A and B are shown apart, each in its own frame.
Chain A
Amino acid sequence: MGMNLLIVDDSPVMRKMIIRTIQLSGLEMESIYEAGNGLDGLELLKHNPIDLLFIDVNMPVMNGLEMLKRVRENPETRDLAVLIISTESHEDRIEMINRNNAGFVHKPFTPEDLKDKILDIITVKG
């Protein structure tokens, strides 16, 4: 049985690219939900059984780091497996991501890179 994913990124092309990369990695997906900003992402999270959440950092309306903070503040979602995807890898951001118990995927990434990160975070969240 595959995973239910939520991909939150303001670029529709990037959302498609993430889906294609997961398909190429061989991991099974059950349902895929998409949102263009953190606020819409939180709304989808309320109403759908998500196993793994991908969040971009730079987005309009609500950015990825604010969304991550709110996910962790909510008892319903505080243990959810989360991967942050970005080209920017400042130490302060990485530290904030680590503090919030999420994984980090640096762009560009191969299907193997993404699969390893997904399996790491799913295993930890077990």
Chain B
Amino acid sequence: MAESYSDQIWQIACDTFETICYMFPLDKDEANTLSDNLADMSDIRSAITFEGATKGMMVIRPSYDLLDAIAANMLGVDEPSSEEKEGALCEIANIICGNTVPLFANGERICYLNPPRLLTDLNASEVNSQTGKKESINVFLDEGVAEISIYYFTK
């Protein structure tokens, strides 16, 4: 049976966290025990839009603990600055999005990513205005959780 988009996005996200942040996903049983507790989510999100064979937007929102750990592990520093945390989150968004959008492009790999941006509560309404299809996943890692949502149109 073909893997669902959600499963494929989850795998891409896990591979990215593992390769560049040395973080590993929790197994499904552990993740299920945590899935009701998403209260400690950061108010910082990174969004990236894409266009070409498919168009849309991906948004990633980490828990506070994960936001710190992404930058610390990616850069090898103990106490990352705010700029480093935001930059590292944007880079993770860029990599996950770049590897995910071909899934929605019917095998065509011609999709162009715009630079990742930070979304705060002030401009988060941009996310709510997204239409098209939507896939959402949570990735549970030892260091925290990441919510990933992708809004997309296919031709």
Q: What is the interface of chain A mostly: helix, strand, loop, or mixed?
A: loop
Closest CB-CB distance, A67 to chain B, in whole Å?
17
| A75–B95 alpha-carbon span in the complex (Å) | 34
CB nearest neighbor in B for A92: B110
**B20 on the A face (CB < 8 A):** yes
B contacts with A: majority SS: helix
A13 touches B90 (CB 8 A): yes
Instruction: Sort chain A's interface into a size bin.
Output: 20 to 34
Contact string against A for B residues 81-105, beta-carbon threshold 8 Å, 1 for contact and 0 otherwise? 0011001101100110111000000
User: Contact residues of B with A, CB < 8 Å?
Assistant: 15-16, 19-20, 71, 74-76, 83-84, 87-88, 90-91, 94-95, 97-99, 109-113, 115
* 5 closest cross-chain pairs (CB), A and B: A87-B98, A13-B87, A108-B19, A108-B20, A90-B109
Residues of A within 8 A of B (CB): 10-14, 16-17, 20, 58, 86-92, 107-110
